[in-house]
């Protein structure tokens, strides 16, 4: 993981309504996903499969940027998520060009939504009923996220 992924950076907050939350987190998005597991050992000596140190650092880097702009109360109800991961072009890709390299979008999303739950942005990632996910090459790099509540037929 590069130093850009671990250096604390204040999230740039976009004004949000009580029914929506959005922010752009200026950072080099971690490429480590929830699949990065390893065998760990409990103090009792028993072994188990757990998150790797690299995955824990990636989640911590995301949470460090989410927390400053997190809503005061976690969002509940049926939720729509729009997330764009903007990876640095490194001078080899056009700005805005779709990124067709690893990691896979679904794996990025799982890790990211787990972080949103951990940081109390959302009550539970199971509440996300609609998602729009994108990976692009971009300068500036970072992660754009918008979570909004979907009011459907008298739901919560």
Note the pLDDT tens digit of each residue in 20-47. Answer: 999 999 999 999 887 877 788 889 989 8
Alpha-carbon gap, residue 82 to 100, rounded angstroms = 18
Determine the pLDDT at residue 147.
Answer: 97
End-to-end CA distance of the chain: 40
* Spatial CA neighbour of 113 closest among 150, 92, 143: 143
SS (H, E, C) 14-52: CCCCCCEEEEEEECCCCCCCCCCEEEEECCCCCEEEEEC
Whether the predicted pLDDT of 148 surpasses 50: yes
Assign 18 a pLDDT band (cuts: 50, 70, 90). low
Determine the pLDDT at residue 120.
Answer: 95
pLDDT digits (tens, 9 = 90+) for 35-80: 877 788 889 989 888 888 899 999 999 999 999 999 999 999 999 9
- What domains are there in the chain, each with its CATH number? 3-149 (3.30.1330.70)
Entry pTM: 0.81
């Amino acid at each position: 993981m590069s130093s850009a992924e671990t250096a604390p950076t204040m999230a740039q907050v976009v004004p949000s309504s009580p029914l929506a939350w959005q922010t752009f987190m200026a950072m080099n998005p971690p490429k480590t996903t929830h699949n990065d597991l390893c065998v760990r050992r409990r103090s009792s000596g028993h072994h188990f499969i757990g998150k790797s140190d690299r995955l824990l650092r990636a989640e911590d880097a995301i949470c460090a940027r989410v927390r400053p702009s997190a809503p005061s109360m976690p969002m509940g109800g049926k939720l729509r998520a729009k997330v764009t991961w903007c990876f640095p072009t490194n001078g080899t890709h056009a700005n805005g060009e779709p990124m067709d390299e690893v990691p896979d979008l679904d794996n990025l999303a799982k890790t990211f939504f787990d972080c949103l739950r951990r940081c109390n942005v959302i009550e539970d990632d199971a509440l996300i009923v609609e998602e729009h996910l994108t990976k692009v090459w971009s300068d500036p790099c970072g992660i754009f996220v918008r979570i909004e509540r979907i009011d459907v037929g008298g739901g919560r």
